[in-house]
């Protein structure tokens, strides 16, 4: 029997102290995101329908990956859409944010600090004579 | 329902519709604008929410076919090498743009005379210069005077945006090769300006600007136009410009938000519905006097579609610098080293390099300038190489007008009101392909000079159809153009087009300041015609 969690573990495997995306418990988040955007929901249904009959938890990981590669080649649109869902769920998770050094949350209103523009850096390019073409 | 007659009816409330509405708003005329989209409150923009990356990929996508909101119309792009992108709202695609504000060069208006290809424009840089300056003031331009690649011009009202450590690194790369670069002119506030805040460097300026530091016409021209009495009617999807028995425009018919057909009579009609929406509407507006579509005696409505070929070349760095997702995604610096024709390069015309930053973790994984991050065992290494460690050089090239690149009406696809959707046919020319190949090689040099350990190129970025140009071109000869130098249709003397449709050629810069300058100039011509 195939579970979305098992597939997600193959797509985004463990690293450091984080398990794979499925074992992290993100399958419900993937399904929730899919419900918010109809093309994603259709792609997820197609993905499961095509993969489930061939998938077995007893298969070696290399054969599971081969099934995923076959599906990617046969139905790239559905595969890519599901990959996007998995990435959106995984990289929207605070545990992942902590690991990769991302602040998380809304970007506004905080933003990020940057030093003001310093015209000194133009010193070299300012020496160039005007070269725009007259018309 | 038939409304009271307007003096001026503008169709489309985006970059050019807003500019023409404001410019005419003190002329004592009754002006109505019909817009199929709605107002967006800045607090609704994606970046105000923790799931901003999901929203940016779905309900706030650049692609109307992905967004599929009620106010969007589908675009059949199955026969196109480039995916058309747009936003339907008050402010139009300026809500969604990155707000690059470069100008055409004087030579861009004389392509036939100088390089023997395409056609010259019926106006010049000098004709538009004052309007460029005016638009810079109203939209709010951050920039620095003295660029040797462009003619001298009026000072920008604000200093340049910060380059950031990543921008400075790339600038040094250009310097080391002796190549031109300059901080980008940008319609993003570097300091508070006209009641709008300064940019706080949140990053994805293509997703709307919560603090209104980025100019979009819903926060620049529209408040002033409305204060002067212009009526802006939203949720109004126009499906026909109506005409009388002599062939002159009499107004427009549209579906309101409830799906009821309404009629808006007018003495003069201005189309500002973008380079796909405008030809669609002209082709829909057939009549006995205009059997092939309105203003289409030349047969050129919808033809000569230009997008700008676009390559994305990404460099990866491991020098321990600050992460490259701080600061506006675009609008950092540009290079016009390869802007003009050089016969030794194997192609005519040229391209501009623009620097783009990286972005948040999910959008990094989804990819844009490159394929999505690899899945499986290579996933984490691939992600780590990109996230906060990559800088992309975008090459924006000039594609020449070709009649087979066009907008037609779809025979099978319709919008939610049953109106025929546009069908886009576009193939990248051999000249453009050679140009982008050259750009990839040069970009690799500059990224290596900046210290990249690896460089990867996408020679033709498919989702790059931000710039919609050429489909109702201007010219002096009615057999070879749709409108004259002022935007007035050759066939219909009370019909104007003021969006990117009128472009004769596309140059190799972002088109919005130019199409807004054209709209402001057209407004002055209209004013004179109304009050001779």
pLDDT one digit per residue (tens) for chain A, 135 residues: 678 999 999 999 999 999 999 999 999 999 999 999 999 999 999 999 999 999 999 999 999 999 999 999 999 999 999 999 999 999 999 999 999 999 999 999 989 989 999 999 999 999 999 999 998
Closest alpha carbon within chain B to A96: B361
Cβ separation B379–A124 shorter than 8 A:
no
The pLDDT of residue B331 is 84
Q: Give the residue among B60, B44, B72, B12 at the shortest CA–CA distance from B222.
A: B12
Selected for mutation to probe chain A from B105, B375, B462 (highest A CB count within 10 Å) is: B375
Q: Is B161's Cβ below 8 Å from some Cβ in A? A: yes
Nearest Cα residue in chain A from B339: A132
Residue B188: C-alpha distances to residues A112, B162, B196, B298, B327 (Å): 15, 11, 10, 40, 12
B144/A122 touch (CB, cutoff 8 Å), yes or no:
yes
Residue with tokens 């997820």: A44
Q: What is the enclosing helix (H) or strand (E) of A65?
A: helix A61-74
Residue carrying structure tokens 């054969």: A63
Query: Which tens digits make up the pLDDT trace of B252-275?
Result: 999 999 999 999 999 999 999 999
Ordered DSSP codes for B70-132: TT----EEEEESS-B----STTGGGTTS--B-----GGGG-HHHHHSSS---SS-HHHHHHHH
Tokens for B430, please give them: 């051999």
Give, as one character, the DSSP assignment of residue B480. T
Note whether B327 contacts A87, CB cutoff 8 Å.
no
DSSP string, B308-319: --EEEEEEE--S
Q: Report phi then psi at B16, rounded to 5.
A: -85, -35
Q: Do B362 and A131 touch (CB under 8 A)?
A: no
Residue B205: the pLDDT is 85
Tokens of B420: 């025929």
* 3 state SS for B342-365: CHHHCCCCCEEEEEECCCCHHHHH
Residues of A with Cβ-Cβ distance to B327 under 8 angstroms: 112, 114
Pairing of strands B261-271, B6-11: parallel
- B492 conformational bin, left if phi > 0, alpha if psi -120 to 50, beta if neither: beta
| H-run or E-run covering A21 | none
DSSP symbols for B213-269:
-B--TTTTHHHHHHHTT-EEE-S-EEEEEEE-TTS-EEEEEEE-TTS-EEEEEEEEE
Return the structure tokens found at B212: 């209104």
- Give the tokens for residue A45: 């249904």
B41-50, B281-290, B420-429 — which is least confidently predicted?
Answer: B41-50
Sequence length of chain A is 135
Which tokens in the block code for residue A48? 């499961």
CA nearest B65 in A: which residue? A39
Say if the Cβ atoms of A133 and B105 lie within 8 Å.
yes
Query: For residues B60 and B206, what is the distance between their CA atoms, to the nearest angstrom?
Result: 10
CA distance B329 to chain A (A): 12
Q: Could you tell me what percent of chain B has a pLDDT over 90? A: 96
Percent of chain B at pLDDT exceeding 70: 100
Are A72 and A82 spatial neighbours (Cβ–Cβ below 8 Å)? no
Chain B residues with CB-CB distance to A118 below 8 A = 163
Q: B249-255 and B310-316 as β-strands: parallel, antiparallel, unpaired?
A: unpaired
pLDDT of residue A1: 65
CA distances from B151 to B24, B126, B133, B142, B517 (A): 29, 11, 13, 17, 17
Nearest of B70, B17, B136, B161 to residue B501 by alpha carbon: B17
What's the gap between Cα B95 and its chain centre? 11
Average pLDDT over residues B363-368: 95
Q: Kindly state which CATH superfamily the domain B6-357+389-530 is placed in.
A: FAD/NAD(P)-binding domain (3.50.50.60)
Distance CA A57, CA B243 (A): 68
| Domain ranges (residues) in chain B | 6-357+389-530
Lowest mean pLDDT among A86-90, B206-210, B314-318, B436-440: B206-210
Helix axes A76-90, A38-51, angle to 10 degrees: 110
pLDDT in tens, B114-127: 999 999 999 999 99
What pLDDT was estimated at residue B223?
Answer: 98
The rounded distance, in Å, linking the Cα atoms of A14 and B262 is 59
**Where is B326: in which H helix or E strand?**
none
Can you tell me the distance from the alpha carbon of B83 to that of B299, in angstroms, rounded to the nearest whole number?
24
């Amino acid at each position: 029997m195939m579970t979305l969690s098992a597939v997600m573990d193959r797509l985004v495997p463990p690293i450091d102290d984080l398990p794979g995306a499925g074992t992290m418990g993100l399958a419900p988040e993937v399904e929730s995101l899919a419900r918010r955007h109809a093309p994603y929901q259709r792609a997820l249904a197609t993905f499961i329908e095509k993969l489930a009959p061939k998938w077995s938890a007893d298969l070696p990981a290399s054969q599971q990956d081969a099934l995923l590669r076959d599906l990617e080649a046969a139905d790239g649109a559905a595969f890519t859409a599901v990959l996007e869902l998995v990435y959106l769920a995984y990289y929207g998770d605070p545990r992942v944010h902590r690991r990769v050094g991302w602040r998380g949350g809304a970007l506004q209103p905080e933003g990020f600090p940057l030093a003001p523009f310093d015209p000194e850096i133009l010193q070299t390019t300012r020496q160039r004579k005007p070269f725009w073409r007259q018309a | 329902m038939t409304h009271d007659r307007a003096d001026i009816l503008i169709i489309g409330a985006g970059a050019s519709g807003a500019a023409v509405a404001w410019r005419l708003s003190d002329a004592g005329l009754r002006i109505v604008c019909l817009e199929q989209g709605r107002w967006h409150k800045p607090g609704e923009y994606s970046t105000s929410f923790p799931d901003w990356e999901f929203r940016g990929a779905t309900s706030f996508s650049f692609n109307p076919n992905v967004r599929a909101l009620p106010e969007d119309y589908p675009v059949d792009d199955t026969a196109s090498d480039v995916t058309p992108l747009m936003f339907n709202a008050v402010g139009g695609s300026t809500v969604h743009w990155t707000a690059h504000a470069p100008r055409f060069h004087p030579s861009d208006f004389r392509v036939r005379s100088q390089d023997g290809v395409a056609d010259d424009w019926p106006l010049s840089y000098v004709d538009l210069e004052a309007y460029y300056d005016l638009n810079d003031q109203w939209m709010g331009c951050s920039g620095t005077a003295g660029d040797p690649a462009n003619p001298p011009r009026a000072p920008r009202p604000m200093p340049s945006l910060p380059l950031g450590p990543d921008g400075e690194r790339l600038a040094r790369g250009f310097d080391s090769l002796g190549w031109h670069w300059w901080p980008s002119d940008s319609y993003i506030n570097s300091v508070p300006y006209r009641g709008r805040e300064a940019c706080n460097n949140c990053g994805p300026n293509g997703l709307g600007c919560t603090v209104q530091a980025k100019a979009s016409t819903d926060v620049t021209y529209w408040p002033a136009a409305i204060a002067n009495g212009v009526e802006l009617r939203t949720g109004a999807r126009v499906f026909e410009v109506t005409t009388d028995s002599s062939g002159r425009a009499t107004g427009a018919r549209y579906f309101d938000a409830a799906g009821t057909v309404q009629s808006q009579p007018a003495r003069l009609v201005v189309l500002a519905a973008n380079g796909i929406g405008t030809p669609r509407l002209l082709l829909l507006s057939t009549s006995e006097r205009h059997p092939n579509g309105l203003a289409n005696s030349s047969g050129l409505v919808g033809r000569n579609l230009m997008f700008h070929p676009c390559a994305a070349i990404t460099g990866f760095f491991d020098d321990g610098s600050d992460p490259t997702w701080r600061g506006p995604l675009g609008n950092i610096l540009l290079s016009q080293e390869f802007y003009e024709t050089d016969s030794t390069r194997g192609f005519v015309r040229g391209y501009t390099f623009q620097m783009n930053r990286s972005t948040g973790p999910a959008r990094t994984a989804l990819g844009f300038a490159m394929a999505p991050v690899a899945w499986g065992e290579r996933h984490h290494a691939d992600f780590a190489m990109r996230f906060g460690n990559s800088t992309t050089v975008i090459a924006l090239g000039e594609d020449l007008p070709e009649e087979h690149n066009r907008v037609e009406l779809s025979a099978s696809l319709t919008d939610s009101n049953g109106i025929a959707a546009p069908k886009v046919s576009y193939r990248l020319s051999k000249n453009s392909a050679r140009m982008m190949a050259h750009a990839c090689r040069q970009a690799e040099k500059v990224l290596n000079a900046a210290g990249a350990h690896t460089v990867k190129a996408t020679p033709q970025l498919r989702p790059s159809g931000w710039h919609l140009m050429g489909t109702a071109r201007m010219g002096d000869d009615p057999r070879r153009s749709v409108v004259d130098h002022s935007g007035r249709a050759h066939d219909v003397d009370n019909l104007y087009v003021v969006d990117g449709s009128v472009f004769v050629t596309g140059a190799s810069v972002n088109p919005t300041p130019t199409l807004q300058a054209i709209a402001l100039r057209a407004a002055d011509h209209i004013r004179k015609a109304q009050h001779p």
